[in-house]
Chains A and B, each alone.
With several copies, the nearest count.
Chain A
Amino acid sequence: MAKITSGLGTSHIPLLGYLMDKGESHLEKWAPIFKGYEFTKKWIREQKPDVVILVYNDHATTFDMKLIPTFAIGCGESYRPADEGYGARPVPLVKGAPKLAWHVAESVILQGFDLTIVNEMTVDHGLTVPLSMVFGEVEEWPCQVIPLAVNTVVYPAPTGERCLALGKAIRAAVEQFPDDLTVQVWGTGGMSHQLLGERAGLINREWDLAFMDDLKNDYEKLAKISQVEYIRESGTEGSEMVMWLIMRGALNHEVQEVHRHYHVPVSNTALGHLIYENASQESEEEKAL
């Protein structure tokens, strides 16, 4: 049976991909950013996930104002990195996991989630930057990817409660899948940032760190944060953080935080990153007693 073993949260800041693509990620001045992913690169080589369900938002790249899906799941065979205006990132083609993706889509739709199924699309920095930060510069991505695009561009984004519940539904779906697969769920985006208006440049370090603290055990509390509160506290674009709740919902209640990284600023944004491993099956069962 397929199994979700771990999850991670990470910002998907375009600058990070840009620096890697230009070969500048090793420069001393960027060390405070990239050092925080060194653990991750080792960790992922041990974890060897077969499939990553990668939760991200499209930034007016593949979806425009004609059509705005709240949740779109990629069921395609592969996805090309998008040209976001400077040519496509020189990173490998993203291989899909269509059989598992269709299974998850079918299962969560029957569980009452109104997904949009996507079979053909390009993927922007929201998806490819996390792959680069975790896997580094590779000839091909060492796993299959199921893109899960969440609308965070047009108000309203799905609520935190909805995102958490979707994560739980995804977990149930994956656990019913007959193939032996190691699956990870990644939540991306954030942390605090504000890209427009007089208030541009807002960063709320305290809020971000509290979010990372609460995500481990008090995620039900985080799920109650409204988009208005995200905007007020962490900037208009800070509301991307709901996507981390999908990841959290897909994990066991008991998780171990095995890594954390926080750095301000990266261009206009606070960078956050953490890794959770599911506590062993045993301790979950204990909890149920």
Chain B
Amino acid sequence: MNNQQKPYDNIPGTTVFDGDMARIGFHLNQFCMSLMQESNRVAFKQNERAYLDQWPMTEAQKTAVLERNFSQLIALGGNIYYLVKISSTDGLSVAAAVSTMTDLSVDEYIDMMRRGGRSPEGNRFTDQGENKPSEESLWQK
């Protein structure tokens, strides 16, 4: 859906944060950046909607923030290094935020990592036989 006609559009299960993504995500990412300040984190947690309304973000972006829908936030131009500032504000680990974008639960995700991570096999090309990213590890620890 994003990254179309780019040299990376056939890499499955990721979105490269390029100029097109940066443009649509500019205010979303700058909102995330504002959460680096404690006073802003407090204001955001007190009334998330009101805080978001101070930013010229799209309604879809605001909704995705309120829903903590990270897959959607990535599709709407969010960059993961910015987005984790939302999950940090929630007191969540990076793994907790990241795992929501996969078809694994946090525990399953952490378990996969412990076993050596997700194998690149089947995850290099969208047309590589199986399109769906595999959670099997190529090597076991």
Contact = CB atoms under 8 A, between A and B. Distances in A.
Direct A/B contact, Cβ within 8 angstroms: yes
30 contacts: A59-B81, A60-B82, A65-B30, A75-B22, A102-B19, A102-B22, A106-B19, A154-B17, A154-B22, A196-B101, A197-B14, A197-B133, A198-B102, A198-B103, A198-B132, A199-B118, A201-B109, A201-B113, A201-B118, A202-B123, A203-B116, A203-B119, A205-B116, A205-B138, A228-B7, A231-B8, A232-B120, A232-B125, A236-B14, A265-B117
Contacts of A64: 29-30, 33
Interface string A220-242: 00000010100111111100000
Interface stretch (A35-43, A79-87, A161-169, A280-288): A79-87
Given A65-B30, A153-B17, A231-B16, A197 B101 contact: yes
Contact of A61 (B22, B36, B95, B112): B36
Interface in A51-104: 59-61, 64-66, 75, 83-86, 98-99, 102-103
Interface in B1-27: 7-8, 11-20, 22-23, 25-26
Interface residues of A, number: 52
Given A65-B29, A201-B98, A196 B118 contact: no
Nearest to A178: B5
A251 B77 CA distance: 35
The 10 closest A-B pairs by CB, nearest first: A203-B117, A102-B19, A199-B13, A198-B13, A60-B81, A155-B18, A201-B118, A197-B14, A85-B88, A196-B80
A60 B78 CA distance: 12
A150 interface: no
Contacts of B61: none
B108 to A, nearest CB: 10
B98 A196 contact: yes
Interface of A: 14, 59-61, 64-66, 75, 83-86, 98-99, 102-103, 105-106, 119, 153-156, 192, 194-207, 226, 228, 231-237, 264-265, 267-268, 270
Given A200-B13, A235-B14, 5 more contacts: A196-B101, A202-B119, A203-B118, A228-B8, A268-B95
Contacts, number: 168
Nearest to B73: A196
Contacts of A195: 80, 94, 98
Contacts of A85: 35-36, 85, 88-89
